[in-house]
Amino acid sequence: MSGDVFVDASLFMGMHRMGMHRTGMHHEDERVRRGCKAFFARALERPAERVRMSLEQVGLCDALVWRRPRGEQDAYYPFMDRLHTDLRMDRPGYTEKDTRRAWEDPALDGLPDHERLALGQVMERGGTLYTASARLLARPGLPVEPADGGEGDPRFPGGLEPYYRISLALRVGRDEL
């Protein structure tokens, strides 16, 4: 797939994903967390390439974090602030063409509104959406890709890694994304 690179809230918050079970963290959730983290670590190493995340998707991340206790927010936001500053990220709003595509393209029927709108924007601009949404990744024909973490735990460059480690005080369940 070519064109603009978009990310959604599931990919951004997926860096903090943890699905708890009686036996602890699920292997699947750890793989997703590493993949999401690797996507952003690689993006920081390619400053000439821009990443796009709609204003609504940014807001969905904030809405999730603001529901948490103040201590988790305080641990999370120094990392998020630095990542948003260091990463070349555009935060476009929706255009009329984006929203028309979201509601009129039959490939998007049945999706929640926030995913329809995100994909309407992506499709209208000929881009690819990187996501951790199992629902979107399971749907054929959409311009979506998973984040690939490879082996091991990637590291953030430029002093960001310690802030990320502290931010892990905030953990997101798979049902929250």
pLDDT tens digit sequence for 139-152: 999 999 998 776 77
Closest CA to 33 of 107, 129, 132, 121: 132
Is the pLDDT score of 123 beyond 90?
yes
Q: Assign 25 a pLDDT band (cuts: 50, 70, 90).
A: very low
Closest CA to 130 of 63, 18, 67, 49: 49
Q: Assign 27 a pLDDT band (cuts: 50, 70, 90).
A: low
CATH at 92: 3.40.50.1010
In the chain, the number of structural domains is 1
Q: Does this model's pTM top 0.75?
A: yes
Residue 171: give the domain boundaries: 5-176
Is the pLDDT score of 21 beyond 70?
no
SS3 for 101-123 is HHHHCHHHCCCCHHHHHHHHHHH
